[in-house]
Structure 1
Amino acid sequence: MLINKIVLDLIEEIKKTDLWTVMPPVEKERLAEIIAFVGGQDVTKRREKKSVQPAIYQFKITLKGMRPPIWRRFLIDNQVTFEELHTIIQIVMGWEDSHLYNFDTKDALVEILDDSFEFFPSAREKYDARETQIGELITEEKQKCLYTYDFGDDWEHELVLEKILPIDEKITVPTCLKGKRACPPEDCGGVYMYSEIQAALKGEGELDEEMIEWLGEFDTEEFDIEFINSILKHYAVNR
């Protein structure tokens, strides 16, 4: 293909520059992968999975930028994948799982990987949420992780591993232990717009008629833990 030749020629020109001489070996290796990729070769690497000692994780997740705070505390098996953790967060928070997401552990980025978007090298190590167990990357109490949902509204959540508990058949996982306040309505515009909605519902601002109709009977203080756990139970049975 013509595009392959163009990219190959471009990379070969880069290799003739001073930049190439000072490029770290790991980046040269990645460049070689790119050359092989555009040449039609299979350059997929299989990451060696880390052994995860079974345990129960107690997490607290807090929606950033919200006053008063919106948060949940829940238990989960540490051998579930980040994709499953995403689903459980959606349930305990009250989101509708309508958008993309990622997890940022500072050392790595966890998301649904698509080879078509992995053409150019990345400065950070990436893991596939569908294949990576949470216990591989989150290993210590008090460890924090950033969970971002909906890259349009950009809802950022701080996820903190509060406790690592031994496996106990008497403990049901996943389960929500506690929480406060309702999750914002999906697609409401992000932290700033939801703050405006909160203020208006308290009589400290105004909303247009269309927004009022869209919100319906929305209650910012509602948190139904029994309903959440019934959905988690159904999810656990059918996963």
Structure 2
Amino acid sequence: MNEPTDPALFRVRVHLVDSNPEIWRLIEVNADLTLDRVHTALQVVMGWENAHLHDFEDLDPRARWKPGQPEPRRWGPALLSEDDESMLPDEDYTLRDVLTEDRPLFYEYDLGDRWLHCLALIEALPMAPADNTVTVIRGERRCPLEDSGGIDGYEELLESVADPGHDEHHEHAEWVARMTGGPVNLFDPARFDKNATNKELRRLFPRTKHA
């Protein structure tokens, strides 16, 4: 891990890989937040419910490692790292330790549906005592519904719900209503509430005080 350095905010663009239209967020996050806390932040930032396992990787899991490239690394919660010697405990590494401008970080949530997120470092900014630990600057579209079957399953779900003539429209509309706790006509996949998200981030991540 790196030696301690001046407090910094990382401006990071997060997008859900293969989402179309793209689901993305631009955030600012304390560079010294440990990865287990970054996981918590990403759950709020994206809108997930923290109901499944996760891991981090610094090599795109869809790509194959090639000789001459830096050795790939993986980080995860104790539940996974204790049973997998190749996985490092995410509580022991900070975002500063693993994310650079020339090498993005990949965050996978729900190892069944495999929601893959790419975190790209845009820039590092000086962090002042009054700065919040995590803030969403901008973003578009809500994240998919939990357990909707990955990107392909979610896209099929949206198509069937939007088409009353679809063979699975009624079944899927009922499922969406159960998952969201409200009428399906109020479900808007294009809506992202930045203010509500930042309010929840303030609750979970009080401001960091620096000496």
Scaled by the length of structure 1, the TM-score of the pair is 0.71
Report whether the alignment pairs 1:117 with 2:77. Answer: no
> Per-residue deviation at 1:213?
1.4
By relative contact order (CA 8 Å, sep 6+), the higher-ranking structure is: 2
Amino acid at match of 1:212: A
| Total equivalences in the alignment | 185
SS of 2:129's equivalent in the other structure is coil
- Residues 170, 146 of structure 1: alpha-carbon distance in 2 compared, 3 angstrom cutoff: same
For the pair 1:185 / 2:137, whether they are aligned, the reply is no
Q: Are the structure 2 counterparts of residues 128 and 185 from structure 1 closer, same or farther at C-alpha, using a change threshold of 3 Å?
A: same
Q: 1:209 to 1:158 in 2, by over 3 A?
A: same
Q: Quick one: which amino acid aligns to residue 142 of structure 2? A: A
- Matching residue's letter, 1:199: E
Deviates more, 1:170-179 or 1:201-210: 201-210
1:130-149 equivalence runs, <5 A: 130-138=91-99, 140-149=100-109
Answer whether contact 1:52 1:135 (CA < 8 A) is retained: no
**CA–CA distance in structure 1, aligned partners of residues 38 and 89 of structure 2:** 13
* Match among 26, 33, 51 for residue 3 of structure 2: 51
Is the Cα contact below 8 Å between 2:25 and 2:45 reproduced in 1?
A: yes
Listed one character per residue, the Cα deviations across residues 129-161 of structure 1 (whole Å, up to 9, x for unaligned) are: 1121111122x3253111100011111111111
Structure 2 spans left out of the alignment, 5+ residues:
60-71, 178-185
Query: Does 1:221 pair with 2:156?
Result: no
Q: Write out per-residue CA displacement over residues 66-118 of structure 1, whole angstroms, 9 at most, x where no aligned residue.
A: 11100011111011100100110000100000000011013310111356514
RMSD: 2.2
> Residue 79 of structure 1 aligns with which residue?
32
The aligned runs of 1:149-228 (5 Å cut-off) are 149-203=109-163, 206=166, 207-216=168-177, 217-228=186-197
1:104 aligns with 2:69: no
Contact 2:163–2:169 under 8 Å retained in 1 = no
Q: Distance in 2 between matches of 1:59 and 1:238?
A: 19
Tell me: CA distance 1:75–1:158, structure 2 relative to 1, closer, same or farther (3 Å). same
Where do 5+ consecutive residues of structure 1 fail to align? 1-48
C-alpha contact (below 8 Å) 2:23/2:139 kept by paired residues: yes
The residue identity in structure 1 corresponding to 2:148 is: C
Runs of 4+ in 1 over 4 A off after TM superposition: none
User: In the superposition, relative to structure 1, how do residues 176 and 63 fare at CA in structure 2: closer, same or farther (>3 Å)?
Assistant: same
Identity %: 29
Which structure shows the bigger proportion of residues in helix conformation? 1
